[in-house]
Amino acid sequence: MAFEFTDSNFQEAALDKKGVAVVDFWAEWCGPCRMITPIIEELATEMDGKATVGKLNVDQNKEVSMKYGVRSIPTILILKDGEVVDKQVGVISKAALEEKILAHV
């Protein structure tokens, strides 16, 4: 199950934590976001112990979304030790996303 990032837990779960965090910025009304949800869920399970993979609802968590300038969704940020090391805007295949994540694990 994908981790649920929020404005209140983002600092602790993504920025202060050592290692890799993958954050999928999404909204319920977004069709492409719904397309990528199964990929995020699968990677959350497969990357357990290697990376924290989760989702952040942009409608409910505007603070983090604004901080990272997320204007198009889905946007996926890959953070390592609290720093953004990769960004993907739009739908991506599971294999391509997994490759991006593994480059930083």
Selected catalytic residue, list 30, 89, 91, 92: 30
Selected catalytic residue, list 13, 33, 56, 78: 33
Joined together, the tokens standing for residue 83 give 């720093």
Task: Please check whether residue 81 is in contact with residue 22, taking contact to mean a CB–CB distance below 8 angstroms.
Answer: no
**Residue 30 appears among annotated catalytic residues:** yes
**Residue 74 appears among annotated catalytic residues:** no
Alpha carbon 32 to its chain's center: 14
Close Cβ partners of 40 (under 8 Å, ≥ 6 residues apart): 2, 22, 24, 53, 54, 55
Q: Which sequence positions are flagged as catalytic?
A: 30, 33
